[in-house]
Each structure stands twice: as structure tokens, then as C-alpha cells.
Amino acid sequence: MTCLRWMSRIEKSLCALGFFVMAAALILDVGARLTLGHGLVGAPQLGLVGMLVTALFGVGLATDAAEHLRPRVLDRYRPPSWEPAMVRIGHLLTGSFFLLLAWLSAGVALESHQLEDLTSLLRWPVWALQMVFVIAFGFNGVRCLLFGLHPDLAPPETAQAERPEGDSG
């Protein structure tokens, strides 16, 4: 599906950009500390922004590749024949949860915009940084709902936990 491919491309680009910003800010800050005796003003905060972008959009990339973490503790207590339905329900619940988080994040960002909140050191509008949460949660919510509604779009699970020998479900 074209929508999923575009979301994945955007997330990959933002993850790479976020990682670059994080690494560059921290490397330059450490270099300045070693050569100048003091760090660069705002570098740790800029590195934190890069880490935030990388982490939030990385969740979507993990989901897109079926490498996300999923508790499997109760898997042995249900018949294997339930697997397709359970996976589908899981995607639908997860998608709904991510969309709820996106909606709540949008409310927080809107309030920050109305209050004209700024970050303390960099003096950036807080709402702009909070929009990272809205977009990342929204992308992942849409992705999970599409996986739940159209299971053929979901990647095959690759992070399957091995069942103990002789455990048939």
C-alpha cells in the first residue's frame, strides 16, 4: 500500500535526521569541552531533541518490520488456531491506543501553542516539539489499524519467541 510506504520513508528519513542531529550535537559539545574547556550552549538540549525524534519514529519502524516488543506470556494458554484473530485484535487495539495518544498529544500541543510556551534554553516553541509525538503516534496508529483491518499488509512476525519443546499451545 502506497500510504504505508510513504509513512515508512518519512519515518526512516526523520530517524536518520534525528540521529544525525543527536550525534552531531553531542560530538561537537564533547569536542568543545575538550578543546575550549566548556560545552556548546544548547548542544545537550539539541541532542535530546534528536534523540526524541529518533526514538518516537523508531517505534514506527520497528512496528513496520514486526520487530516491536510483544509480551508472549499468555500465548501458551490459548489454542494456536486463535493466532490470526489475536494478532488482528492486537493490531486494532494497539492502533486505537496510538491514535488516542496522538489525540491527547495534539491537545497538549494546542494548549502549549495557545500559552506560547517556549523551551527554557533554546527558546523554541514547545508545541513544535510536541508535534513530534502527534505525528509519530498518529503514523503508528494508522499503520496498526491498517494491519488490523487488512492483515495481508502486516509484515510477518519475525521476533517470535520459541515455544518450549513439546508445548503445542
**Mean pLDDT for the chain overall:** 90
Give the pLDDT confidence of 124-169 residue by residue, as tens digits: 999 999 999 999 999 999 999 999 999 999 888 754 544 445 555 4
Measured CA to CA, the distance from residue 149 to residue 126 in angstroms comes to 35
Higher-pLDDT residue of 26, 69? 26
Give the pLDDT confidence of 112-127 residue by residue, as tens digits: 999 999 998 899 999 9
What's the pTM value of the predicted model, to 2 decimals?
0.85
Q: How confident is the model at residue 80 (pLDDT cuts 50, 70, 90)?
A: confident
- Residue burial 19-49, b: 16+ Cβ < 10 Å; e: rest: bebbeebbeebeeeeeeeeebbebbeebbbb
